[in-house]
A = this chain, B = another copy of it.
Amino acid sequence: MHPTTQLLENARERVTFPTEELTKLIYVNDEIYETFMKAQKIIANEPTIRNHPDYHNWSRKQQIIKSYEKLRIMHQHFNLANAVHWAPLLSIFQGTTPTAVSFAMTVPALRFLGTDEQFNLWGPKFLTMEIVAAYAQTEIGHGSDVQNLETTATYDPQSNDFVLHTPSVSAVKFWPGELGFLSNYALVYAKLIFNGKNKGVHPFMVQIRDNSTHKPLRGVTVGDIGPKLGYSTKDNGYLAFDNYRIPLNSMLARYVRIENGQFSRHGNEKISYASMMVSRQLIIFIYPRMAAQALTVAIRYSITRQQFTNDKREENSVIEYQTQQDKLLPRLATCYGMIFAGIRIMQLVDDNFHRVQKKDFSTLQQSHAILSAIKAFSSQWVVDTTEWCRLSCGGHGYAHYSGIPAVYFDTAPNVTLEGENQVMYLQVARYLLKVLQYAEKTPEKVPFYFSFVLHVKETLANKDQNTSLGHWLKLTLTIQLIQVGKRIKDLMNTGKTFQQIWNEHVGIHLMSLAQRYAEYFIYLVFQEYIANANPSVKEILQQLCDLYCVQTILDNPNTLIESGQITQEQLKAFNELKIELFAKIKPQAIGLVEAFNFNDNALRTCIGCHDGKPYEYIYDWATKENSVNKVPQAVIDLMGTKIKAKL
């Protein structure tokens, strides 16, 4: 057996829990698991789809062309209208998935904001891909601040239709995915001008390209916005309208309507949150799994990579170094919490949808708050984790052949898109302050995952050092919430307006508060999973949860300290406990990453394969798959003697 294969096999033998029990938890149910396994296999076996080592040498144009070829093949194998089918694809092949935006954002918006007739008119055309539609909300000058969008849709009572117009450069739609090339329709958010009055921003289903030629229709300017940090195959686009007429039926009309020349509102507008929930929930569900890919590569590589000799004059696997464990093990622990939180949120959002469809809005706000907190927290965590995984692989981590840079490229935008993280956190903080008021006045209104506000006194009084680790997360959260509430009240008394205080005086505290809630929510879900888990994996899950808690406490102890809630001895004890947990989890690490069950192709790596051999594979790819090396004469002409001669 190859020595690095042997190192991995030895590590696998030391794993003491049944990995398949964790796999079951990770993949929720048989349908999701089997679809994912099938997708992995199909992609590995299809030459057009499978990982192409040379991909990152290509121009964006080449990559985009490849991406559309992939779309055709994927369409043969998968039902791209079903998230269970296309969502896993996001993480296991190169480049983004064309039509993902159309299905994850535009279709749900159509379902929730359109009338049944409107959904029946357009919905089926998405399934056959007769329609691919971008979600055109963001403008060059306006992102999160939807109410200040500038694009106008002016109702014309003469012709009983709308004139869509882009009044300035800052009003140009900018960033919508799949707008640049792919979409022939767009769901355009525009300010409705009705009888000269601004009736707020609403969505309009607009055809932008010709059905037969796919050329932009007259009055429409549309294209790709240029290269980005990652997302090279995603045709994020720009879109401008020059007094472009669209029919009355374009406006999604479940909650606002123009009939017989009269404008009217119907039902609960809060529903507009609901359609954003689908895409945010997918971000939470999918992307921690991409961090899991990076962790798989990093843990395997850390076992096969040997560097510096130990006392026995043998080279050490780098996983043996405490500093390496510190980079990877807390993140591996958190990854499980993130994945479980993603599943739980999927269930919460699903439950909320069923309620909303029955006009029950009772769980809408709490779902939105949890979703916002975890969307922001998890998207930043995924990017950070991917970066630490890259760094833990030394130089080779910087090579695209490691598979890790691409994970970074394609997860980085999630921090900004679908609700910029900072904006999300501020919304969460606002909801937490509201829930605190419920606790005082209408405790029955406090939702389950926020019930910590009902126990403020008990939490603050609990000085028992043997309490669960989660207590410290709850305590930190509680203190920060009380403090920021008080701070706002104090500042109001100095004559400042609420808005001024919110923007200029408590932003840092609000951000921190929302993050503490996210941490606590993940802990709660972690506990639920441990309670319900198969006995054979309860211990390892508890260790992961403990490490998650300890690391979280040590990352942000200031609140506990400033409020005198923690002693020097307790902090020291947490530091020791962390090291003890490293010793327990390190031998299980290979099992913990292999429970994610990614095949080599899905990892897009040559340094973290199932059979090891990082050096053989990286040399193989560099010498055989690297197109830059394949034009020796041109290269010589340009970079060799001739250029020197000209110097």
Q: Which residues of A contact B (CB under 8 A)?
A: 53-62, 64-65, 68, 71-72, 75, 128-130, 132, 138, 140-145, 148, 169-170, 172, 174-175, 180-182, 184, 209, 211-215, 221, 223-231, 235, 238, 306-311, 315-316, 320-323, 326, 390-391, 394-395, 397-401, 405, 408, 412-413, 415-417, 420, 422, 426, 497, 499-500, 503-508, 510-511, 554, 557-558, 561-564, 568, 571-572, 579, 615-616, 618-619, 621-623, 625-629, 631-632, 635-636, 638-641, 643-644, 646-647
Set of chain B residues within 8 Å of A320, measured between Cβ atoms: 503-504
Q: Chain B nearest CB: distance from A172 CB in Å?
A: 6
Whether B564 and A558, one on each chain, are in contact in the complex, defined by CB atoms closer than 8 angstroms, is no
Whether B65 and A310, one on each chain, are in contact in the complex, defined by CB atoms closer than 8 angstroms, is no
Whether A226 and B53, one on each chain, are in contact in the complex, defined by CB atoms closer than 8 angstroms, is yes
Whether A618 and B140, one on each chain, are in contact in the complex, defined by CB atoms closer than 8 angstroms, is yes
* Contacts known (A60-B57, A408-B229); A323 close to B508, Cβ less than 8 A: yes
Could you write out 8 A-B pairs with CB less than 8 Å apart?
Answer: A58-B60, A132-B644, A148-B309, A224-B626, A224-B629, A235-B639, A310-B503, A395-B417
* Contacts known (A320-B503, A619-B140, A647-B72); A228 close to B405, Cβ less than 8 A: yes
Set of chain B residues within 8 Å of A138, measured between Cβ atoms: 395
* Contacts known (A143-B394, A143-B395, A398-B416); A627 close to B215, Cβ less than 8 A: no
Set of chain B residues within 8 Å of A626, measured between Cβ atoms: 223-227
Whether B643 and A72, one on each chain, are in contact in the complex, defined by CB atoms closer than 8 angstroms, is yes
Set of chain B residues within 8 Å of A636, measured between Cβ atoms: 213-215
Compute how far the CA of A273 lies from the CA of B321 in the bound complex, rounded to whole angstroms: 25
Compute how far the CA of A174 lies from the CA of B619 in the bound complex, rounded to whole angstroms: 9
Compute how far the CA of A415 lies from the CA of B572 in the bound complex, rounded to whole angstroms: 30
Residue of B nearest to A559 (CB): B571
Compute how far the CA of A34 lies from the CA of B557 in the bound complex, rounded to whole angstroms: 48
Quick one: which of B311, B315, B321, B638 contacts A65, CB cutoff 8 A?
B638
Number of copies: 2
Compute how far the CA of A18 lies from the CA of B626 in the bound complex, rounded to whole angstroms: 52
Compute how far the CA of A405 lies from the CA of B226 in the bound complex, rounded to whole angstroms: 13
Residue of B nearest to A80 (CB): B647
Q: Chain B nearest CB: distance from A230 CB in Å?
A: 8
Quick one: which of B62, B226, B504, B644 contacts A400, CB cutoff 8 A?
B226
Set of chain B residues within 8 Å of A562, measured between Cβ atoms: 568, 571-572
Compute how far the CA of A211 lies from the CA of B640 in the bound complex, rounded to whole angstroms: 9
Compute how far the CA of A143 lies from the CA of B500 in the bound complex, rounded to whole angstroms: 53
* Contacts known (A322-B504, A322-B506, A561-B571); A390 close to B229, Cβ less than 8 A: yes
Quick one: which of B142, B211, B226 contacts A641, CB cutoff 8 A?
B211
Whether B507 and A321, one on each chain, are in contact in the complex, defined by CB atoms closer than 8 angstroms, is yes
* Contacts known (A57-B227, A60-B57, A321-B507); A310 close to B500, Cβ less than 8 A: yes
Compute how far the CA of A415 lies from the CA of B387 in the bound complex, rounded to whole angstroms: 11
Whether B228 and A64, one on each chain, are in contact in the complex, defined by CB atoms closer than 8 angstroms, is no
Q: Chain B nearest CB: distance from A3 CB in Å?
A: 10
Set of chain B residues within 8 Å of A632, measured between Cβ atoms: 215
Compute how far the CA of A572 lies from the CA of B562 in the bound complex, rounded to whole angstroms: 7
Whether A564 and B557, one on each chain, are in contact in the complex, defined by CB atoms closer than 8 angstroms, is no
* Contacts known (A225-B626, A500-B311, A615-B170); A422 close to B507, Cβ less than 8 A: no
Set of chain B residues within 8 Å of A181, measured between Cβ atoms: 635, 639-640
* Contacts known (A138-B395, A140-B619); A229 close to B405, Cβ less than 8 A: yes
Whether B615 and A68, one on each chain, are in contact in the complex, defined by CB atoms closer than 8 angstroms, is no
Compute how far the CA of A390 lies from the CA of B415 in the bound complex, rounded to whole angstroms: 11
Whether B129 and A647, one on each chain, are in contact in the complex, defined by CB atoms closer than 8 angstroms, is yes
Residue of B nearest to A56 (CB): B227
Whether A182 and B416, one on each chain, are in contact in the complex, defined by CB atoms closer than 8 angstroms, is no
Set of chain B residues within 8 Å of A503, measured between Cβ atoms: 308, 310, 316, 320-322
Q: Chain B nearest CB: distance from A595 CB in Å?
A: 26
Set of chain B residues within 8 Å of A182, measured between Cβ atoms: 639
